[in-house]
Chains A and B, each alone.
Chain A
């Protein structure tokens, strides 16, 4: 290879083919799963069921989008389910303030949900980056704090009876697709642009790969970390709003275990748990796989317990396959 004038076209193609290789693996797995269910469960491929699946994965997709930021930078956020409950009950409380006109109350409620999510996320990032504590343990603490606050705010009661105009969004559809899913997709696309095209995204990948090299290149990883966790929190705030409009209730015990589903989607999507490697395209596929699996097995009439076992096995299989894929792309590189 010529030293002085390296070919600029080659590496781009090279990089793209590697990306395709990564995501293709997950895509093939998804296609196989769809093909299997199409044969095994006659109603699976129907338009209604497809739309149902999209509705069912919406919340997880939004949470997983945020989780991708936390994991890419080398952290994790275990508090998303609990923070989501806190966002939902705060939003619910605000929306039910009688003193405000309906539109204002709904608007403020949405803003409150986002605000709570961003604040909780930023706090997670701040504590873990400032004191150098693993985010695993910080967010585990936040999980309890947020859940406790949610219970305190509501006195453990369910908030219900929201304005119809707000609730209508939850089940609305556009071009035959659920509006909330389109929102999640738009959010994912936005996240993709941020991760692949902006300085912020660049710093996230770089820090996830080698924080010390980034620091010694004259950057402050601290800012990026706090911001990345704030993004995770913002997604939680949005997910909470989607929950409330779809189910018309907000209660402080919602979202238990949602963090694990979000993490599973990210990891099945090929993002490395140690950070720095992965993409939101993978996360989208990962969330769809989880959704398709849950839906398809019910349609097949598989019992609850067996369904749980199969879901667990698929997660394990996904990470095992990913390790092979990583090895393959390394040796090709």
Chain B
């Protein structure tokens, strides 16, 4: 039987980089095929070729036996290949319905929009991704990342996914519950015989959803196997070319004095009530867990003064500090790794050296002039310490992989001598190998006597990293779990507790 999609000898090079080299891949009709590999292994390049964004330098592609040579994303869609990209491509000012149906808006005579049909079609699509309670007329800009991700998927479902549906990291920003709903949809599409390509870092998802999995490493195919015939450790070994040491929990150092404490903290959007009280000590890694929308990011931003002076009190080393802006927070030795590294953490088009020194300029200046040597030296030093892979201190941060970008952000705060580090989703969009490195690094920082406060939507991550976990539910603390009591059930139970009927405040 002819495969639905077939790649033969595909090669693609960018100046200085071989992205793909002799890739042969067959996707059978009706199967769900996973692509796995570290960042930079070539998964994205394969997707870009399929989506018509790039053209291969060598080799041929065929779709259902016919030569497939898309010259543009429009060509790809016309040929029946739908790609849900990792980056969101929604138009914020337009409504949910308009975004969903943008490629072909329902019209009446004279080109007027058919509002009623739009609402109906949109509602049907939203229903399929479990967003039934979302109004089709709501503007997209008010929605969270997870909802946007689901809308992107709903958009691709409109024509039943065409002939091949490509999902690139669809669960990266979703909570387990949202992911679960997505998986139901994927199962339903599978049952209808749709061919799918599924890209994910989450091995559990690959094994639960996919028939076969292809592992890429350095632009070449390492293996293609039925998921029934392989196992997660085997897959990891194939991806990184070696086996990961079994993940021993990261342990912080000896716990010291209280580094950071907050009293009656009321972050932006917090519910009425007494506010939050908690403390983090030197040498400790404290996690904040909670569902999307529970207010985790807002806690960090409030302490940091990112949205103006926090409501509530902040103490450093036991002394109250007045924080009016991030400037005061950094002066008090607090650093923040933001959730959105690219938009808030780095100046992407500028060099790694410049990004390293950004929070500690006085250390690389003299009388208002930059000391370029000192700046480069700092970058090189931290690149060494954190094992950051860069071509040199002049390499723009935007050219680095996710893991290396995060290391540059960490270097920035280490160079600024921040003793309290707040990390918001420290491993988002970072591949398996680099994740392990970041975990080890955070463990070392805590062991070295820093105080770490970590927000993450991946429970295993928190369980792996933290000494204790604070669980937020609807803007309030639902409880605190010590390492000895860590379990996903326990933490999730607390996280949902605020949503189980009304609790009197």
Binary CB contact string for chain A from 288 to 332 against chain B (1 if under 8 A, 0 otherwise): 000000000000000000000000000000000000000000011
Task: Find out whether the CB atom of B343 lies under 8 angstroms from the CB atom of A212.
Answer: yes
Cα(A108)–Cα(B376), bound, Å: 45
Task: Determine which of B345, B346, B394 lies in contact with A11 in the assembled complex, contact meaning CB atoms within 8 Å.
Answer: B394
Task: Determine which of B351, B368, B369 lies in contact with A15 in the assembled complex, contact meaning CB atoms within 8 Å.
Answer: B351
* Segment with Cβ contacts to B, from A1-9, A168-176, A263-271: A1-9
Task: Find out whether the CB atom of A213 lies under 8 angstroms from the CB atom of B392.
Answer: no
Task: Determine which of B326, B350, B416 lies in contact with A206 in the assembled complex, contact meaning CB atoms within 8 Å.
Answer: B350
A-B contact count (CB 8 A): 118
CB-nearest residue of chain B to A9: B392
Measured between C-beta atoms, what is the minimum distance from B229 to chain A in Å? 35
Is B39 interfacial (CB 8 A cutoff)? no
Task: Find out whether the CB atom of B412 lies under 8 angstroms from the CB atom of A217.
Answer: yes
Task: Find out whether the CB atom of A15 lies under 8 angstroms from the CB atom of B394.
Answer: yes
Task: Determine which of B327, B387, B412 lies in contact with A3 in the assembled complex, contact meaning CB atoms within 8 Å.
Answer: B387
Is A166 interfacial (CB 8 A cutoff)? no
Interface size on B, residues (CB 8 A): 46
* Segment with Cβ contacts to B, from A66-74, A193-201, A230-238: A193-201
By secondary structure, the B interface counts as mixed
Is A137 interfacial (CB 8 A cutoff)? no
Q: A8-B380, A202-B361, A213-B358 are in contact. Are A220 and B391 (CB under 8 A)?
A: no
Cα(A224)–Cα(B328), bound, Å: 17
CB-nearest residue of chain B to A5: B384
Task: Find out whether the CB atom of B369 lies under 8 angstroms from the CB atom of A214.
Answer: no
Cα(A6)–Cα(B395), bound, Å: 11
Task: Find out whether the CB atom of A333 lies under 8 angstroms from the CB atom of B399.
Answer: yes
Task: Find out whether the CB atom of A6 lies under 8 angstroms from the CB atom of B370.
Answer: no
Q: A199-B369, A202-B370 are in contact. Are A216 and B344 (CB under 8 A)?
A: yes
Cα(A14)–Cα(B399), bound, Å: 14
* Segment with Cβ contacts to A, from B96-104, B142-150, B330-338: B330-338
A205 CB contacts on chain B under 8 angstroms: 350
Within 8 A of B (CB), among A1-42: 1, 3-12, 14-15
Binary CB contact string for chain B from 344 to 370 against chain A (1 if under 8 A, 0 otherwise): 111111110010001101000100111
CB-nearest residue of chain B to A2: B389
Task: Determine which of A3, A12, A201 lies in contact with B389 in the assembled complex, contact meaning CB atoms within 8 Å.
Answer: A3
Binary CB contact string for chain B from 4 to 26 against chain A (1 if under 8 A, 0 otherwise): 00000000001100000000000
Cα(A12)–Cα(B347), bound, Å: 18
Binary CB contact string for chain A from 106 to 140 against chain B (1 if under 8 A, 0 otherwise): 00000000000000000000000000000000000
* Most chain A Cβ neighbours within 10 Å, of B304, B349, B359, B399: B349
Task: Find out whether the CB atom of A6 lies under 8 angstroms from the CB atom of B327.
Answer: no
Task: Determine which of A1, A10, A198 lies in contact with B369 in the assembled complex, contact meaning CB atoms within 8 Å.
Answer: A198
Task: Determine which of A4, A11, A198, A332 lies in contact with B368 in the assembled complex, contact meaning CB atoms within 8 Å.
Answer: A198
Is A209 interfacial (CB 8 A cutoff)? yes
CB-nearest residue of chain B to A14: B394
Cα(A205)–Cα(B346), bound, Å: 13
A209 CB contacts on chain B under 8 angstroms: 347-350
Measured between C-beta atoms, what is the minimum distance from B249 to chain A in Å? 26
Measured between C-beta atoms, what is the minimum distance from A300 to chain B in Å? 41
Cα(A202)–Cα(B362), bound, Å: 12
Task: Find out whether the CB atom of B391 lies under 8 angstroms from the CB atom of A213.
Answer: no
Task: Find out whether the CB atom of B347 lies under 8 angstroms from the CB atom of A213.
Answer: yes
Measured between C-beta atoms, what is the minimum distance from B386 to chain A in Å? 9
Is A210 interfacial (CB 8 A cutoff)? yes
Task: Find out whether the CB atom of B14 lies under 8 angstroms from the CB atom of A10.
Answer: no
Task: Find out whether the CB atom of B331 lies under 8 angstroms from the CB atom of A218.
Answer: yes
Cα(A5)–Cα(B380), bound, Å: 7
Within 8 A of B (CB), among A179-213: 197-202, 205-206, 209-210, 212-213
Task: Find out whether the CB atom of A11 lies under 8 angstroms from the CB atom of B327.
Answer: no
Task: Find out whether the CB atom of B358 lies under 8 angstroms from the CB atom of A215.
Answer: no
A5 CB contacts on chain B under 8 angstroms: 380, 384
Binary CB contact string for chain B from 372 to 415 against chain A (1 if under 8 A, 0 otherwise): 00001000100110011111111110010000000000001000
Is A276 interfacial (CB 8 A cutoff)? yes
Is B44 interfacial (CB 8 A cutoff)? no
Is A157 interfacial (CB 8 A cutoff)? no
Is B306 interfacial (CB 8 A cutoff)? yes
B304 CB contacts on chain A under 8 angstroms: 216
Task: Determine which of B327, B329, B346, B351 lies in contact with A213 in the assembled complex, contact meaning CB atoms within 8 Å.
Answer: B346
Write 24 A-B pairs (CB below 8 A) sorted by A numbering.
A1-B390, A5-B380, A6-B380, A11-B351, A11-B391, A11-B394, A14-B392, A14-B394, A15-B394, A197-B370, A199-B370, A206-B350, A209-B350, A213-B347, A214-B347, A216-B306, A216-B326, A217-B326, A219-B358, A276-B347, A331-B15, A332-B15, A333-B396, A333-B399
Given contacts A202-B354, A210-B346, 18 further A-B contacts (CB under 8 A): A1-B391, A3-B384, A5-B384, A14-B392, A15-B394, A202-B361, A206-B358, A210-B343, A210-B348, A213-B343, A216-B326, A216-B338, A218-B330, A218-B331, A218-B416, A220-B327, A277-B349, A333-B399
